[in-house]
Amino acid sequence: MVRLKQLWPSLMVLAVLVIGARAVPITKLESAVAKGAVCLDGSAPAYHLDKGSGSGVNNWIVHMEGGGWCADTASCEERKSLMKGSSELMNEDFGFFGILSGNQTSNPDFYNWNRVKVRYCDGSSFTGDIEAVDPAHKLYFRGFRIWQAAMDDLMAKGMSNAQNAILSGCSAGALAAILHCDRFKSILPETAKVKCVSDAGFFINGKDINGGSSMESYYSKVAATHGSAKNLPVSCTSSMKPELCFFPENVVKTMQTPLFVINAAFDSWQIKNILAPTVVDKHKEWNKCKQDFKKCTPTQLQTVQGYREQMLAALEPFRATNTSGLFLDSCHTHCQGGSAALWSGPQGPQVGKTKMAKAVGEWFYERSTFQNVDCPSLNCNPTCPGATTED
């Protein structure tokens, strides 16, 4: 009989092969606590770092985790019992996939870079900074300090010698990548090639089903709760209300650093929360449709199709600059670049016959430009995925 003990090493190897990624351990920034850089519950911020090697030792990709926002005391309070609000509750290991993968085959341009995943536990896309701590709730609004503390720590670990660097993220983390992109460039050596990548972070100030702007009202609460205004790009806040400066369409106009946008034209989060949020869908007529487009009425489908038009209009100023990269697929999904399958796998969505790994790599190294908008209608692209991996 083969004993389990003897089998163990080969089972471990098998597990790694099946998962296709090495688990990257967490680093908690205990020293950041003294600077007041803490998660909503007061715990230390955290990241996962997989060190670069060979030709990638001086290259850095810093990717911020997503997970929506909290806009008031009650919703931020809820996060204290989740890993989205406390590093005490975070998983110790993270498998790195897609744009963070250490596998040369699936991530040929970035596999040997220093790859970092900054954990999200502030609920403000790393923009908050309020000194006072509400004694009744013991909630800390310090997202921006977390971002700064993470950057300081990574600079000390070698990022100050970066030759190539990318600030990226998924969803709320992708929005943070846009909001902090120029700042990221400014802390790195002048000689470094620095660019940013937003995966599902192009949240538009779209009209909802009642013709209002629910998302603008929502961001107004986020900004007030977290004290975000002073940490949003000044080039935007100097002429617009803070809540408007959460929208990439208003920020990219004055952004200096090149940005690549990966987004679904029918982004599932945006359809649910910007087009048909529960607050305006009083009779819950959109409940089924916004989960599954097969359950939409013909009129609802037209409205969904119209959302893509809103998205294209919002992207117009961004597309006008020749340094912008764009991979806008006509899929119904949210966050694509963190998945092994979608980033470069055989089932990966294609726009202009290209998968996102190739599009982003070519654009970063300027081997070619890439601005591609998919065929216009829902279901027109047979390479679209049926599922998502992270929100």
Ligand X SMILES: *[C@@H]1O[C@H](CO)[C@@H](O)[C@H](O)[C@H]1NC(C)=O
Q: Contact positions toward ligand X, by CB under 6 A?
A: 17, 20, 103, 105-106, 322-323, 366
Residue 129 annotated among the catalytic residues of the structure? no
Q: Which residues contact 310 (CB under 8 A, 6 or more apart)?
A: 204, 206, 207
Least distance in angstroms from the C-beta of 229 to ligand X? 32
> Which residue among 43, 101, 125, 171 is the active-site one?
171
Are 93 and 119 a contacting pair, CB within 8 Å? Answer: no
CA dist., res. 326 & res. 322, Å (int): 11
Task: Output the six-digit token pair for 271.
Answer: 């359809």
Residue 281 annotated among the catalytic residues of the structure? no
Q: Which is nearer to ligand X, 58 or 103 (CB)?
A: 103
Complete DSSP assignment for 15-84: HHHHH-SPEEEEEE-GGGGGGT---TTSPPPEEEEE---GGGTTEEEEEE-------SHHHHHHHTTSTT
3-state secondary structure of 141: coil
Question: How many other CB atoms are found less than 10 A from the CB of residue 4?
Answer: 8
Least distance in angstroms from the C-beta of 296 to ligand X? 35
Task: Output the six-digit token pair for 225.
Answer: 């709760």
> Which residue among 106, 334, 344, 374 is the active-site one?
334
φ, ψ of residue 328 to 5 degrees: the values are -105, 100
Q: Which is nearer to ligand X, 72 or 366 (CB)?
A: 366
Q: Which is nearer to ligand X, 20 or 158 (CB)?
A: 20
The number of helix segments (H) and strand segments (E) in the chain equals 12, 12
CA dist., res. 149 & res. 35, Å (int): 8
Least distance in angstroms from the C-beta of 325 to ligand X? 10
Question: How many other CB atoms are found less than 10 A from the CB of residue 81?
Answer: 12
Least distance in angstroms from the C-beta of 290 to ligand X? 33
The three state secondary structure string of 262-326 is EEECCCHHHHHHHHCCCCCCCCCCCCCCCCCHHHCCHHHHHHHHHHHHHHHHHHHHHHCCCCCEE
Residue 334 annotated among the catalytic residues of the structure? yes
Least distance in angstroms from the C-beta of 382 to ligand X? 21
Q: Which is nearer to ligand X, 42 or 102 (CB)?
A: 102
Least distance in angstroms from the C-beta of 286 to ligand X? 38
Q: Which residues are catalytic?
A: 171, 267, 334
